Each structure stands twice: as C-alpha cells, then as structure tokens.
C-alpha cells in the first residue's frame, strides 16, 4: 500500500446520515478518489486558494510569492509529491477562497474540533485542494497560540451515510509563512502528504 493511500484512508471523514430511503447518485466524475492527493477526479493539477486577512491586503503579493516558494520547496523535497499525483502539472495559486470566510472562534487540532472553514458540503467540489487563510496578529488568537491550524474546507458525500474531505483549510499567522515547520507539517498535510521530517 502506498504511503498516500494509507494517509488518504485516515482523511476520510464519517460524519452524517441521510433520510431513510433517500437515493444518492453522485456523478462519477465528482466522486472522491484516493488514488492521488488531489482527491477529486475532475482536478487535473494542484490549485491552492489564498485568503488574506483584510488588514494585511497590502501584502498580498508578498504572501503569494512566499506561498509559491513554500510549495516549490516542498515539491523539491517531499518524496511523495509525484507519487501523490501533485506533480502532474504545475500548481496554481488563486487569490480568494470560496465560502463565507467565517473562521470559528478557536480552531482545534484537525480531527478534534470538526471545524469547517470554507464551502463545506458540496456536490461539485471546487478546483482547490487546499485553502490557505493568512491572518494578522489580531485575528490569529483563534489559533490558541499556535502558528497555524488545519480544518476541513470542503466535503463531498460518498454514500448515504459518509462524507469525505476533499479540500483542507490551513489557517496561518502571516509570520509563519516561509518557515520550515509550516512547509514540512501544515502545508504537507494540507496537501494530503505525510509530515516531512
């Protein structure tokens, strides 16, 4: 079993049930796939959206450049980047993430708090595998003293009783962009890769 399949198995979120007798028939092309880190068959390359705290808007170009550098470093160093299907084409960074942009008051470690930051449940997931939210110090207190946190951004229904995460949200203090800890931990996991030691 590839390291990616092992990791993807654990990212499966079992959360809801449907009404008894309700039919579920998702289109084939939008069903989640655990064959690669993109998680949705309709995604043909890595796309990351970047949402910048309005008080930091003047620095958006700087954050784009830093995130691009972080992705390039991870691409060059992570042994699972190509195995995970992330090296099929070049990646893209788009300013502005879908969803209401509301971030909970406190972000628990992913998997414990159940926070969803982004569009949530969607029948047709967006192209974005990862949503990166850059916060200024005033709003960063929601991280509970940590430099970053992860949550679900988008989920899709895989059958009557189960959901799967198909996009991950990373909420990060602006000062943590560009750090080795961010690249090897939060960014790697936000792309569906194992932590890089």
**Domain residue spans in the chain?**
3-9+43-190
Mean pLDDT of all residues belonging to the chain: 80
Q: CA–CA distance from 114 to each of 69, 97, 120, 122, 150 (Å)?
A: 30, 19, 11, 16, 10
User: Distance between the two ends of the chain, CA-based, in angstroms?
Assistant: 21
Residue 80 scores a pLDDT above 60: yes
pLDDT above 90 covers what percent of the chain?
44
The span from the CA of 125 to the CA of 65, in Å, is 26
Q: Is 103 exposed, middle or buried (0-12, 13-18, 19+ CB in 10 A)?
A: buried
Q: Is 145 exposed, middle or buried (0-12, 13-18, 19+ CB in 10 A)?
A: exposed
* Residue of higher predicted confidence among 114 and 111: 114
Cβ distance 30 to 16 under 8 Å? no
pLDDT in tens, 35-62: 778 888 888 889 999 999 999 999 999 9
pLDDT in tens, 114-165: 678 888 888 888 999 999 999 998 888 888 889 999 888 998 888 888 888 8
* Range 22-35 average pLDDT: 54
pLDDT at res. 138: 87
Written as six digits, the tokens of 56 are 């930091």
pLDDT band for 109, please (50, 70, 90 cuts).
Answer: low
pLDDT at res. 32: 76
The span from the CA of 100 to the CA of 193, in Å, is 27
Model-level pTM?
A: 0.81
CB atoms under 10 Å from CB of 107, counted, come to: 22
Q: Is 61 exposed, middle or buried (0-12, 13-18, 19+ CB in 10 A)?
A: exposed
Residues shown for the chain:
197
């Amino acid at each position: 079993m590839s390291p990616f399949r092992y990791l993807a198995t654990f990212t499966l979120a079992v959360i809801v049930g449907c009404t008894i007798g309700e039919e579920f028939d998702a289109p084939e092309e939008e069903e989640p796939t655990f064959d690669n880190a993109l998680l949705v068959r309709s995604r043909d390359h890595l796309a990351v959206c970047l949402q910048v705290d309005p008080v930091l808007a003047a620095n958006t170009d700087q954050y784009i450049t830093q995130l691009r550098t972080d992705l390039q470093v991870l691409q060059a160093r992570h042994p699972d980047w190509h195995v995970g299907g992330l090296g099929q084409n070049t990646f893209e960074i788009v300013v502005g993430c879908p969803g209401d942009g509301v971030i909970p008051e406190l972000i628990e470690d992913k998997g414990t708090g159940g926070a969803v930051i982004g569009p949530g449940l969607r029948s047709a997931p967006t192209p974005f595998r990862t949503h990166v939210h850059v916060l200024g110090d005033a709003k960063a207190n929601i991280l509970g003293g940590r430099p970053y946190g992860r949550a679900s951004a988008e989920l899709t229904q895989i059958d009557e009783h189960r959901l799967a995460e198909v996009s991950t949200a990373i909420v990060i203090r602006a000062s943590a962009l560009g750090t080795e800890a961010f690249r090897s931990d939060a960014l790697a996991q936000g792309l569906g890769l194992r932590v890089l030691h």
